[in-house]
Structure 1
Amino acid sequence: MLINFRFENFLSYKNLTDFSMIASKVRSHRKYKKQISENLSLLNFSAIYGANASGKSNFINALTFARTFILSSKNELRKNLLKDSYFKAQDSFKLKDTKFEFDFISDNKIYTYGFSVNLFNLSLKEEWLYRNEGGDDLALFNIDYSKPFDKNHFSIENWGLLEKDIPRFDIYISDAQKSNSLFLKYINTPERKIDYSIDVYKAYEWFLQTLEIIEPEGEVSRSAEVFLKQEDTDKLARFLHSFSTGINAIEREEITKADIDEIPDDRVLESIISRVIEVNKNKDSKKIINLVQTEENIYFFSVNDDYEIVIERLYFIHDGTNAKFAFREESDGTRRLIKIYGVLNTVENKVFIIDEIDRSFHPNLTYEFIRKSLENNLIQLIVTTHEDRLLDLSLLRRDQIWFVDKEENASHMYSLEEYKVRFDKDIMKEYLVGKYGSIPKFDCLIMGE
């Protein structure tokens, strides 16, 4: 679970910004928080509001940048990440470091991990990892990249290593400065893995497996896997029907490869077919299915008893008709529901960050999706949105509602909890009239005759 995310000097964020999922002393909706320890309970949901260009998406960009930086090498970053992403409204900030820091829970342990970098020249400055032990922060490593690596910066005795493995990691550490990545990435490469879990693995796995960031047009990882089992597909159909999409069934129909017209390159199609046949022969199984999703259709590739390819296309059946509709024929809202269905359907501990949750959704659909997500106690969900219907204290707690505003070109975040609003207040109305800030400001344009 995410506890806190702090960052500074990134895009429109000038000063230190602290976003927290720590529950306040609010007594309403206690089921929306999880007790971690005697002094710590965490929220399962937060909604972030703000005018266009206030900094909502830049908050998501900060999370995305940090996660990508952690999981990639510096060479990849120079090609794929935005350079010069420091706070540009003041030229002096290109000389200042940009910092990112996370407090999170992985395998029931609390960690603090962060790094600093100069975004003008993409040079690493510092990197650190701590584990909370009985309320105190126990150092695992604290690196200053401007100096030669010192073993004293790596508290290897706190990592949970067996004594026989310590000499190996002493060598890894001595070679670490030659790496093109952050140390956390370097120490998690396959050749440096041992057969039991240690703190530096658990921290990395949280960023790799638990934290998932979905862009406005993106989809939840492995979301299409719901179509692989008929019982899961039937469950999805019932889910879609409950959202008034009109869909009451999802079926497959066998087709030939000539029926696939949105993959113009025959070599790609033949490659898929060859791979499916080869995998099934090697596994000596008829149950290996390859799922291919395009913007227009969803296909299943499998083999029959003679290892000949079988291709099926997925269709949606609507109320009152036997007609079969392809994926491309469904509405944008229905397609988006399918893409993020995994948020509600996951059976793993996950932290989902979704930018513009209300994209292509009717207000009622957004409200219902959030209401259902609050019932999944395995996940944390953090969304940016303009949907004011969520500003309802009968649905959410005060500390689950955040705002982003911009003053003098600098974005800042704050929680509704700071206002200590009474629970019987109409916060949607008060937000729309500007009481909490973070709404659009319009200039009058007077036209001449």
Structure 2
Amino acid sequence: MEHSTDERFLQTIQTKAGEWKILRRGGFWGPNASGKSSFIESIFFARNYIVTGQKSGKGTGVNQFRGDFADLARCYLFQFMFYLDGEVYEYGFSLDRRQVHEEWLLQLTEKDLAPVFTRVTDQNGKTEIDIEPRFANYQAKDRQLADVLKNSIQEAQKNQLFLYKLYDNGIKQAEQIVHWFKNLQVIFPHTKVQALPLHMKADEELRQYIATMLHKMDTGVYEITVASEEIDFREYAEKLNLPKEIIDDIEEIKNGIVNLCGKYFV
């Protein structure tokens, strides 16, 4: 039986559980209002929820997605599988507007995905967190600290992720995973690349690459140039009606980048 996926689009990665073939890239499409934007927004929401943590007693903010009022009481599930330092992990959680109901971290073995920790809140509101030996040896400091933290998720803290609590308390494995999510970039149509003109001015290869890509997309652009000029900040401040204190602070900076009304100044 032939494989349905062309080998050109596959990449082989070496994991501690053996070799895996994965897609180099993926894409999805569909008609208007079919959920494409909501899918990206959900990734953005989950990423921020993981890396920023939540204040005790606050809502989760998950009801920001479009839907019927009846959907506000439902649970939303987020699940990621990712590759980190030779290991394949699955991390996920489910939550409603008020609290986290489930959370899990799994690690790929030669046989299956084995739990690192799992968390479940029952219908009575009782939260149970099981930490497996795979997380750390019982005598290890990280394990002892994790055992203390799992008992600290009280009523007012049920909106918080256990992974973030581990990260916030300096547990190495959690730090590595949270940093993976911090490096996950979500780009929307309105997303701006910070200081892109400055990078383009300093990097000729970048300018050529962008011009080549724009030409391939049939935009009619063949070449990109970047022009720069010196500016009198005080004259510019008068046009924008900026307070004198702001200009004084800017002029005291020896090296830096300032963004005023979408324009970058070095």
Matched to 2:207, the amino acid is A
Contact 1:131 1:140 in 2 (8 A): yes
Q: Which residue of 1 aligns with 2:176?
A: 202
| Cα displacement (A) at 1:43 | 1.3
> Is residue 212 from structure 1 mapped to residue 185 from structure 2 by the alignment?
yes
SS of the residue 1:188 aligns to = helix
**d(CA) in 2 for partners of 1:137 and 1:290?**
47
Contact 2:10 2:21 in 1 (8 A): yes
**d(CA) in 1 for partners of 2:260 and 2:147?**
47
Deviations 1:107-140 (A, max 9, x none): 221111111112xx43221111111122322211
Matched to 2:49, the amino acid is F
**d(CA) in 1 for partners of 2:32 and 2:200?**
41
**d(CA) in 2 for partners of 1:137 and 1:253?**
57
> Is residue 297 from structure 1 mapped to residue 263 from structure 2 by the alignment?
yes
Q: Which residue of 1 aligns with 2:160?
A: 181
Aligned residues: 249
Q: Which residue of 2 aligns with 1:399?
A: none
Q: Which residue of 1 aligns with 2:130?
A: 153
> Is residue 51 from structure 1 mapped to residue 31 from structure 2 by the alignment?
yes
Q: Which residue of 2 aligns with 1:413?
A: none
Task: Give the counterpart of 1:98 among 60, 76, 79.
Answer: 76
SS of the residue 2:3 aligns to = coil
Q: Which residue of 2 aligns with 1:342?
A: none
Q: Which residue of 2 aligns with 1:273?
A: 251
| Cα displacement (A) at 1:40 | 2.9
SS of the residue 1:62 aligns to = helix
**d(CA) in 2 for partners of 1:68 and 1:295?**
26
Contact 1:83 1:122 in 2 (8 A): no
SS of the residue 2:29 aligns to = strand
Task: Give the counterpart of 1:122 among 83, 88, 98.
Answer: 98
| Cα displacement (A) at 1:216 | 1.1
Q: Which residue of 1 aligns with 2:46?
A: 66
> Is residue 88 from structure 1 mapped to residue 68 from structure 2 by the alignment?
yes
Q: Which residue of 1 aligns with 2:218?
A: none
RMSD: 3.4
| Cα displacement (A) at 1:252 | 3.3
Deviations 1:293-327 (A, max 9, x none): 34542211xxxxxxxxxxxxxxxxxxxxxxxxxxx
**d(CA) in 2 for partners of 1:257 and 1:84?**
40
| Cα displacement (A) at 1:95 | 4.1
The normalised TM-score by structure 1 is 0.48
Matched to 1:43, the amino acid is L
1:324-403 matches, cutoff 5 A: none
> Is residue 224 from structure 1 mapped to residue 190 from structure 2 by the alignment?
no
Contact 2:117 2:135 in 1 (8 A): no
**d(CA) in 2 for partners of 1:185 and 1:99?**
17
Q: Which residue of 2 aligns with 1:236?
A: 206
Deviations 1:196-249 (A, max 9, x none): x42x2222222111x1111111035xx4267269642x2233234433535443
Deviations 1:328-370 (A, max 9, x none): xxxxxxxxxxxxxxxxxxxxxxxxxxxxxxxxxxxxxxxxxxx
SS of the residue 1:45 aligns to = coil
Q: Percent identity?
A: 21
1:19-34 matches, cutoff 5 A: 25-26=3-4, 28=6, 30-34=7-11
Q: Which residue of 2 aligns with 1:12?
A: none
> Is residue 169 from structure 1 mapped to residue 146 from structure 2 by the alignment?
yes
The normalised TM-score by structure 2 is 0.76
SS of the residue 1:254 aligns to = coil
Task: Give the counterpart of 1:140 among 109, 112, 116.
Answer: 116
SS of the residue 1:212 aligns to = coil
**d(CA) in 2 for partners of 1:36 and 1:130?**
18
Matched to 1:224, the amino acid is A
Matched to 1:67, the amino acid is R
| Cα displacement (A) at 1:160 | 4.4
Distance 1:79 1:270, change over 3 A: farther
Q: Structure 1 stretches of 5 or more lacking a match?
A: 1-23, 278-288, 301-449
